Structure 1
């Protein structure tokens, strides 16, 4: 799809007499000194920001739980879930099917939580894909050397 086709498919707006490929009706562009409406709104918000923040903090201190939640959400980092380290029989040099079987056995024995086991198995599968790409590159290089 060309740019012209995209523009034709775009929703109508602006000057309806303008068609893609026409000369610009405003070749000099936006006159210097005109401030974009978004910038004007941002400037207005910035002017009153100190008062808004003070009011929200004051409300939080006076028992407004929504204001308190807002203040806490902005000043404290959100907690990330962290998994505990798991220990089970695992040989990273073993074939991949053996590795996956070891993870499944760890889940069955209760040594590995199911969600962590799933992540480990997905990591093994990703590694398998990467190894396949490496092997293909090596084979291709060998064929090109012939």
Structure 2
């Protein structure tokens, strides 16, 4: 099809490629069929294939079992004036530069500081608006 019907309107595209209904939960249904013994057998078979040098098994292990760890946040104390988010961000940047803090964790902390600052600004604007409304009502 050219994409447009005889009246110039667009028509449905490749309807043969549409997903079949009812298949989206197939993985969960299949997983429920496995017993603990079945899962153990799969792991044992996979490890045997890895020992034999099977490339597909090695790929599965490297991708899902021995994957690089995702970063995890560990508590990181920082001393800074909470009324001055700039000093907090600078403290975090210094810790990153010194190697005391991973860059991804530092970025998350700075994003958190920015969020807190935005919330603080909204609260302050709301307070100022309320005060102005009260002043206007008092003058009338």
Query: For the superposition of Structure 1 and Structure 2, which TM-score range results when normalised by the shorter chain?
Result: 0.3 to 0.5
**Structure number with bigger Rg:** 1
Q: TM-score, normalised by structure 1?
A: 0.46
